[in-house]
Amino acid sequence: MKHTSQEIIAHKRDGLALSRSELEQFVDGVVSGDFRDYQASALLMAIVLKGMTAEETSWLTEAMMRSGRIVELPEIRRPKVDKHSTGGVGDKVSLILAPLAAACGLCVPMMSGRGLGHTGGTLDKLEAIPGFRTLLSDAEYRSQLQSIHQAMIGQSDDMVPADRKLYALRDVTATVESIPLICASILSKKLAEGIDALVLDVKFGHGAFMPDEAAGRKLADSLVAISARMGKPTTALLTRMDEPLGRMIGNSLEVIEAIKCLRGEGPADLMEVTYALGAEMLVLGGLHTTQAEAMVALKAAIANGRALEGFRALVEAQGGDASVVDDFGRLPQSERTMDFALDNNEKMSVSGLDARSFGEAACLLGAGRVSTDSVIDPAVGLELLKKVGDPVEPGEAIVRIHYQDTETLHVAETRLRKAITLSEDCPAEKPLIVDRIHHA
Ligand code: URA
């Protein structure tokens, strides 16, 4: 039965569950323009306020996924598994994981996004590599998946147009923070990729979109349930995002850190998350029966250099300058650096590095977008010389700021001064990976 747009909005406003046909009408109408922006915004707000059942969320996800081209990759013989992170600061796991999982026998058809708010985006990081193309033709994409079993690209315009439209509306109508809407947005894109299984890194904490563990768990539960309902085996890891992941924030700097990880020189926190997500990918793809066994394979692929060679092949295949792997000087570099210290008179410990403020400071330096038309500077960013728990001598530098001009340096310094806390005692260590969520 066909409803008017007003009727669909009124149903949700009154707290009713929408039918499959109402949700399809909404999504089709958003893409065609029949459901006007102001009507879509009203319905989005009603969804934020009244919520959605699991059934409604899966119907919305499916309708959005079907709003454009759905990729199918029947010619690929390897298990096709992707990883998606809900977004954090310093999160360059995808750059390490795609070549690493491919070196262990998976096919990784990874479609990623750009930075959102204070969080970085995989496509922006990859584009720091001179020449790297994040848009491939369908034929190039398929041929690359056949030859090197991995590709890292952005979604083409004909895929999931409903999300593009809805996301832009949500961004400006304060309707991003809704678990059903986030679920439908993420999963409609991931399930249109032609994958067999999906691993999710659901981040919570001050540097993530989910502020605390309870909210992160709710999102993870919902993502896994909806994805399983739609026939895609999915596992989520619930991970803490209070301090930045690894030591580098900023596009060139994160490429450098990813390459160091692939060389076996990665920081412990970043490798812990990378290995844990990689192990879930290999198990879901059916290549190993236990995470422990998969972990051995992942560590071997780093130790024997196959994962690093995979990254070189990926960069070459997508038109980038692969010599960056051996020579970081080929990546864009900032004009200047400055070592930032606090004015502690005694030896102290780092008790907090607020990830959100670090992300915002990096954006202010030019590493991310502060408005939709901002142009990203790949060279700038922040390098953490200390992590939480590290001792700090009086006046010792905590962060190296990579910057281009003194005006942005001062703005970033002000933000950093509030982002770093020191204490006399070493803070208790909190687990980085809090839980694993999988519905059989
Ligand atoms: N990332 C997405 O792709 N969609 C959301 O709604 C939130 C984060």
Contact 278, 261 (CB under 8 A): no
The larger pLDDT score, comparing residue 250 to residue 440, is at 250
Query: Are residues 388 and 283 located together in one domain of the fold?
Result: no
d(CA 238, CA 322): 34
166 lines ligand 1 (CB under 6 A): no
How crowded is residue 429: how many other Cβ atoms within 10 Å of its Cβ? 8
Tell me, yes or no, if 206 is annotated catalytic: no
- The pLDDT assigned to 369 comes to 80
Tell me, yes or no, if 357 is annotated catalytic: no
Q: What is the mean pLDDT of residues 46-66?
A: 97
Domain of residue 377: give its range: 333-423
Within a domain: residue 433?
Answer: no
308's enclosing H/E stretch is helix 306-317
Q: Which CATH number do you get for residue 359? A: 3.90.1170.30
- The pLDDT assigned to 315 comes to 98
Centroid of ligand 1 to alpha carbon of 264 (angstroms): 31
d(CA 327, CA 252): 12
Within a domain: residue 62?
Answer: no
48 lines ligand 1 (CB under 6 A): no
Query: Are residues 232 and 357 located together in one domain of the fold?
Result: no
Residue 347 tokens read as 């030896």
Query: Are residues 295 and 415 located together in one domain of the fold?
Result: no
Backbone phi and psi for residue 341, each to the nearest 5 degrees, phi listed first: -130, 160
Positive or negative torsion for Cα 341, 345, 350, 354: negative
- The pLDDT assigned to 116 comes to 72
- 330-387 pLDDT, tens digit per residue, is 999 999 999 999 999 999 999 999 999 999 999 999 999 877 677 899 999 999 999 9
d(CA 370, CA 381): 14
d(CA 111, CA 90): 19
- Checking if the pLDDT of 129 tops 90, the result is yes
- Checking if the pLDDT of 397 tops 90, the result is yes
- Name the amino acid, one letter, at 191: L
How crowded is residue 57: how many other Cβ atoms within 10 Å of its Cβ? 25
Query: Are residues 233 and 118 located together in one domain of the fold?
Result: yes
Q: Which CATH number do you get for residue 229? A: 3.40.1030.10
Query: Are residues 47 and 168 located together in one domain of the fold?
Result: no
Computed over every residue of the chain, the mean pLDDT equals 95
**Domain endpoint, select from 270, 297, 328:** 328
Mutate to test the pocket of ligand 1, among 61, 94, 176, 188 (most ligand atoms within 8 A of CB): 176
Centroid of ligand 1 to alpha carbon of 170 (angstroms): 10
- The pLDDT assigned to 172 comes to 85
- Nearest residue CA, atom 3 of ligand 1? 186
In order of 71, 79, 145, 217, 286, the CA distances from 74 in angstroms are 10, 11, 12, 34, 17
Contact 189, 167 (CB under 8 A): no
Contact 81, 281 (CB under 8 A): yes
119 lines ligand 1 (CB under 6 A): no
Query: Are residues 174 and 308 located together in one domain of the fold?
Result: yes
Query: Are residues 157 and 35 located together in one domain of the fold?
Result: no
- The pLDDT assigned to 346 comes to 95
Contact 301, 106 (CB under 8 A): no
Query: Are residues 165 and 250 located together in one domain of the fold?
Result: yes
- Active-site residue, from 12, 80, 84, 118: 84
d(CA 290, CA 283): 6
Task: Report CA 13 to chain centroid distance, whole Å.
Answer: 32
182 lines ligand 1 (CB under 6 A): yes
d(CA 399, CA 260): 19
- Checking if the pLDDT of 177 tops 90, the result is no
Domain count, the chain: 3
- 286-323 pLDDT, tens digit per residue, is 999 999 999 999 999 999 999 999 999 999 999 999 99
Q: Sheet holding 197-204: strands in order across? A: 81-85, 197-204, 234-240, 433-438
With a CB cutoff of 8 Å and minimum separation 6, the contacts of 275 are 295, 298, 299
Within a domain: residue 431?
Answer: no
Q: What is the mean pLDDT of residues 282-287?
A: 98
Within a domain: residue 380?
Answer: yes
With a CB cutoff of 8 Å and minimum separation 6, the contacts of 265 are none
Tell me, yes or no, if 171 is annotated catalytic: no
Q: What is the mean pLDDT of residues 31-47?
A: 97
Query: Are residues 99 and 208 located together in one domain of the fold?
Result: yes
Tell me, yes or no, if 170 is annotated catalytic: yes
Query: Are residues 116 and 192 located together in one domain of the fold?
Result: yes
- 198-244 pLDDT, tens digit per residue, is 999 999 999 998 999 999 999 999 999 999 999 999 999 999 999 99
- Nearest residue CA, atom 5 of ligand 1? 182
Contact 384, 342 (CB under 8 A): no
Query: Are residues 32 and 118 located together in one domain of the fold?
Result: no
Q: What is the mean pLDDT of residues 44-72?
A: 97
Query: Is 309 strand, coil or helix?
Result: helix
Query: Are residues 186 and 309 located together in one domain of the fold?
Result: yes
Going by pLDDT thresholds of 50, 70 and 90, the confidence category of residue 115 is confident
Q: How much helix, strand and coil, in percent to the nearest 5, is found in the chain?
A: 45, 15, 40
Within a domain: residue 438?
Answer: no
Within a domain: residue 337?
Answer: yes
Within a domain: residue 439?
Answer: no
Q: Identify any residues that bridge with 350 across adjacent strands, giving them in sequence order.
A: 422
Q: What is the pTM of this model?
A: 0.94
Backbone phi and psi for residue 235, each to the nearest 5 degrees, phi listed first: -125, 140
Within a domain: residue 416?
Answer: yes
d(CA 288, CA 286): 6
**Domain endpoint, select from 295, 328, 361:** 328
Length, in residues, of the chain: 440
